[in-house]
Structure 1
Amino acid sequence: MQLAFVLYKYFPFGGLQRDFMRIAQVCQARGHAIRVYTMIWEGEVPPGFEVIVAPVKALSNHKRNERFTAWVQADLAKRPVDRLVGFNKMPGLDVYYAADPCFEDKAQTLRNPLYRHFSRYRHFAEYERAVFSPAVGTDILMISDVQLPLFTKHYRTPLDRFHMLPPGISPDRRAPANAAEVRAAFRQEFKVADDELLLVQIGSGFITKGLDRSIRALAALPADMRSRTRLMVVGQDDAGSFQRLARSLGVAERVQFLKGRSDVPRFLLGADLLIHPAYNENTGTVLLEALVAGLPVLVTDVCGYAHYIEEADCGLVVPSPFTQTTLNKMLADMLNNPQLRQDWKTNALRFADQADLYSLPERAADVILGAAA
């Protein structure tokens, strides 16, 4: 079959983008042709992929999305495909990968009522309705059961159109046999002393991921612990406001910012704890990447995958409603208890051996390809 995948932007370090790539490559490995429509492509093009960067521009994101959709539909009219798979919400999809939360629910609960009178709201509401309306037949690949009741509440989407997927952690995230050697080499490279404690926060979108909360929690540590604790931040985003926050709290020299990179597994093995106090998060793939590497996790309960941290007993989950004081205390307690961190590591690695945290690409391909899989 000829498959077409469509997403607004591809770059190698985004969670949605990495899921897209692995799913498309599984479909390709099963003998199907891959075409990709996007507005931005960063990174290498896999062999055999036809990548089309649509030449569309606009002053606003929603206008650009509309022009992109029209351009793609015009190209598809000339060169039809057997399946159209979207990683962003838009009209005309056969299959939608639901990486983003329910827009309508956020618009009604988190926004001023006046917001719904603006063209931006109308665009995103219309594009979400084009996927979830009972009047269309789009199959929906769900990666978090937290969002499913919100979609059915607002759109009455038939349940048989939802396909719940297991996580899809890449095998290269698992702790290797030489994990101790990798950890030692990493800490030597980044000059992390044996008695220092290393926190990592990994992911693009620093505001949503709660980086401000992490910096405040670091600053709130007791002075002796703070002086030997470092925070490494890895991700694609503008760090300016967070660097200013760190300076204002007196911890600028304890926080290091690094761009998105491909050697994330080394950070997971070299660190002492992953901190992820997100404001909202549909899933939180990095939580499971840390889990399978044996790295304890401190995460807010709004993340779709936070329940795995509790099930594996490999860290702590900050309850809602969030308070900075609670996060501060949990972080200090975790850092102050090396034996408990070792127990969490043991629990995490045991859970990684037993649970299905890996087969998302294969299961997604099954749905996309249907009887042809």
Structure 2
Amino acid sequence: MTEHATPLAAIAIRQVEKSTGASRNALEQTAALITLGYRVVIIAERGNADLVARAGARLVRTRRWPFKGARRRFWFNRRVQAWARRHSPDLLISHGDVETPDVVYLHNCVHLASQAIHGCALPEDHEVAAIHDHVLKGQRFRRVAVNSRMMGNDLTSRYGIAPDRIDISYPGYDPEQFHPQRARINREEVRQSLGVAPGEFLIGVVTSGNFKKRNVDGFVKLASELDRLMPNRCRFLVVGKDDASPWQKMAETLGVAERFAWRSTVNEVERLYGALDIFMLPAHIEEFGRVALEAMACGTPIMLSSEVGCAELLEDRYPELVLDAMDVKGWAQSARRLLEDSAGRNALSRELSSLAENYSHARQQEKLVAAFRALGAESGTG
């Protein structure tokens, strides 16, 4: 097949770097599109050309608006539209900042998050909200893909997008990195490095950062309550790139500071999952929460707030693991029951690891290929 006969797909995303979840999604989309025979171009303001080339795509950089604010997002949209008029891609995949007649992949619900975290609406000139409102209210797209049913429900109620135009696309995980055997290598040494003595339990929150969104406030409070229920039997770990000092002061005030370890993000995060007795994510909102899926894959029992998208994988079979983010006593009591039931905890570990296998990168990639195949068939390029 000649190059001109090969269908062209363009992925529009402002930044493509391996370190972000959105960038990983764009590279996964690239692989799926190449599987279907597309030439792929990634249009971005900032990107790693070598990384994109290794994925099999070509990077097209657009000029970046030099000032912060909503205007720079609309500027990117205009640059992509100009490129699309010149090159007429068969598919244009948007990552939220660009209008498209095809599919929008949305990674966050900024309006819903503001209400959940801060209890108030965003200002009208909010940078991300302004472009999301423009793209989603316009409804030029045929499909919109989101990370969870929670996100889809918000789009339907907020923008009137019909549910049959919304695809739920859960993120996947890497089974080579996240599995019980690898996670538990040198488990005791890792626990000792975190201050965990023999016979003590370790409960942790592992995130990329943004401790307010992830409700570290609630985690410190439930740590205090759990320490009351199980005196001096538990240690607590918080991982993420954020200023921890406000929460460290809270732990001091509540008398549990010496029970805590605080760490920034680490490369071999699976070792931390393997060191935990329970992984917790009591977030006010988490559009999916890939860390929870990774912990499951490592065979670590998890407890999630009902506003975490990943909880949708648990709510039918394990409703006791899904709790109200603000129910501090409920979290502490559920954790105590789980910690004191060694046999039940070991069984849950195996069951969650098995459940996670349904959402590996390979499984999710199969679903992504099927979604792009259907989209291409609708447009006559599949």
Q: Which residue of 2 aligns with 1:341?
A: 345
Q: Which residue of 1 aligns with 2:310?
A: 305
Fraction of identical pairs, as percent? 21
Q: Which residue of 2 aligns with 1:214?
A: 219
Counterpart of 1:18, as a letter, is R
Q: CA deviation at 1:59?
A: 4.6
Distance (whole Å) between structure 2 residues aligned to residue 343 and residue 332 of structure 1: 16
User: Which string of whole-angstrom CA distances, capped at 9 and with x for unpartnered residues, describes residues 181-231 of structure 1?
Assistant: 453454466564432322232222322111221122223332695645333
User: Which string of whole-angstrom CA distances, capped at 9 and with x for unpartnered residues, describes residues 240-273 of structure 1?
Assistant: 4334433444444443333334422222222111
**Map of 1:55-94 to 2, 5 A cutoff?**
55-92=63-100, 94=102
Distance (whole Å) between structure 1 residues aligned to residue 143 and residue 310 of structure 2: 22
2:321 counterpart SS class: strand
Distance (whole Å) between structure 2 residues aligned to residue 237 and residue 33 of structure 1: 39
Distance (whole Å) between structure 2 residues aligned to residue 85 and residue 178 of structure 1: 36
1:37 counterpart SS class: strand
Q: Identify which range, 294-303 or 329-338, moves more after superposition.
A: 329-338
Q: CA deviation at 1:317?
A: 1.6
**Map of 1:1-373 to 2, 5 A cutoff?**
1-41=7-47, 45-46=51-52, 47=54, 48-52=56-60, 54-92=62-100, 94-101=102-109, 103=111, 118-120=124-126, 124-125=129-130, 127-131=132-136, 133-134=138-139, 136-172=140-176, 174-177=178-181, 180-181=184-185, 183-184=187-188, 186-187=190-191, 192-204=196-208, 205-222=210-227, 225=230, 227-313=232-318, 316-319=321-324, 322-352=326-356, 355=358, 358=361, 359-369=363-373, 370-371=376-377
Q: CA deviation at 1:297?
A: 0.9
1:140 counterpart SS class: strand
User: Given the two structures, how large is their TM-score scaled by the length of structure 1?
Assistant: 0.80
1:351 counterpart SS class: helix
Q: CA deviation at 1:279?
A: 0.2
Structure 2: state its 5+ residue gaps: 1-6
CA distance 1:71–1:297, change in 2 (3 Å): same
Counterpart of 1:26, as a letter, is A
Counterpart of 1:130, as a letter, is V
Distance (whole Å) between structure 1 residues aligned to residue 101 and residue 284 of structure 2: 29
Q: CA deviation at 1:305?
A: 2.1
Aligned pair count reads 367
Q: CA deviation at 1:112?
A: 5.2
Distance (whole Å) between structure 1 residues aligned to residue 243 and residue 117 of structure 2: 28
User: Which string of whole-angstrom CA distances, capped at 9 and with x for unpartnered residues, describes residues 97-147 of structure 1?
Assistant: 13223737967998657x56x3238x725533423545x233212332223
Distance (whole Å) between structure 2 residues aligned to residue 254 and residue 80 of structure 1: 59
Counterpart of 1:231, as a letter, is F
Distance (whole Å) between structure 1 residues aligned to residue 49 and residue 213 of structure 2: 24
Distance (whole Å) between structure 2 residues aligned to residue 22 and residue 166 of structure 1: 13
Distance (whole Å) between structure 2 residues aligned to residue 220 and residue 300 of structure 1: 17
Distance (whole Å) between structure 1 residues aligned to residue 192 and residue 315 of structure 2: 32
Counterpart of 1:119, as a letter, is D
CA distance 1:53–1:108, change in 2 (3 Å): same
Distance (whole Å) between structure 2 residues aligned to residue 45 and residue 314 of structure 1: 41
User: Given the two structures, how large is their TM-score scaled by the length of structure 2?
Assistant: 0.79
User: Which string of whole-angstrom CA distances, capped at 9 and with x for unpartnered residues, describes residues 17-49 of structure 1?
Assistant: 433332323333544333333445589724134
Q: Identify which range, 187-196 or 357-366, moves more after superposition.
A: 187-196
Q: Identify which range, 229-238 or 286-295, moves more after superposition.
A: 229-238
Q: Identify which range, 36-45 or 157-166, moves more after superposition.
A: 36-45
Distance (whole Å) between structure 1 residues aligned to residue 263 and residue 46 of structure 2: 22
Distance (whole Å) between structure 2 residues aligned to residue 244 and residue 34 of structure 1: 50
Counterpart of 1:200, as a letter, is G
Q: CA deviation at 1:64?
A: 2.6
Contact 1:209/1:278, CA 8 A, preserved across alignment: yes
Distance (whole Å) between structure 2 residues aligned to residue 219 and residue 17 of structure 1: 38
Q: Which residue of 1 aligns with 2:3?
A: none
